[in-house]
Amino acid sequence: MKFFKILEDMTSLLRGIEQDTWIITFGNVDQHDNKVSTLKAEIPKVIDHLIEKALQSKLHQVKAELPKEIDVIEKAFQAKVKDLKWELHTAVLTNRIKVVEFKEKNYTKMHILIKPKPMPKWRIKDHHNNQTLSNIIIPQMQSNIAEYDTLAHMQGP
């Protein structure tokens, strides 16, 4: 039972990308830097580091509790991490990344938003053969992307 609880905890660490939104916060960003281009170049490295750090910290915590199962857990989640990194790096390459700035008291936070990857219309029709999906889901996806764009625009470059 404990084994499944740990798997559930570790999956929840990585759940953000499965919901098509991954938010990373950068504290104390220098306001005079060219933030977007600097951060865009750093995003893949930062993402890799954060995922690895979260995973290693959880694995370290689990090792004492479940020494026999640790190898199985580690292999399962290394595969998951590889998939996540690929998804995030693809988002960077396809410009589905938005950098949004939030000012708080005397420092600035940067949030990285990854816009959902829209499913091609032919695939939806092929898969489901349902008019409702074409009429509701695609416009909803487009509206979500527009919402991210608006949020980024309102917060400023």
Residues 66 and 53 occupy one common structural domain: yes
Residues 87 and 157 occupy one common structural domain: no
Residues 25 and 84 occupy one common structural domain: yes
Residues 14 and 66 occupy one common structural domain: yes
What is the domain extent for residue 145? 118-157
Q: pLDDT tens digits, residue range 37-68?
A: 445 556 566 666 666 666 666 666 666 666 66
pLDDT-based confidence at 133, cuts 50/70/90?
A: very low
Contact 41, 92 (CB under 8 A): no
Q: What is the tally of structural domains in the chain?
A: 2
Residues 20 and 85 occupy one common structural domain: yes
Mean pLDDT of the chain: 55
Residues 93 and 19 occupy one common structural domain: yes
Residues 15 and 80 occupy one common structural domain: yes
10, 17, 22, 91, 122 from 115: Cα distances, Å: 23, 10, 9, 8, 21
- The model's pTM is 0.36
pLDDT-based confidence at 130, cuts 50/70/90?
A: very low
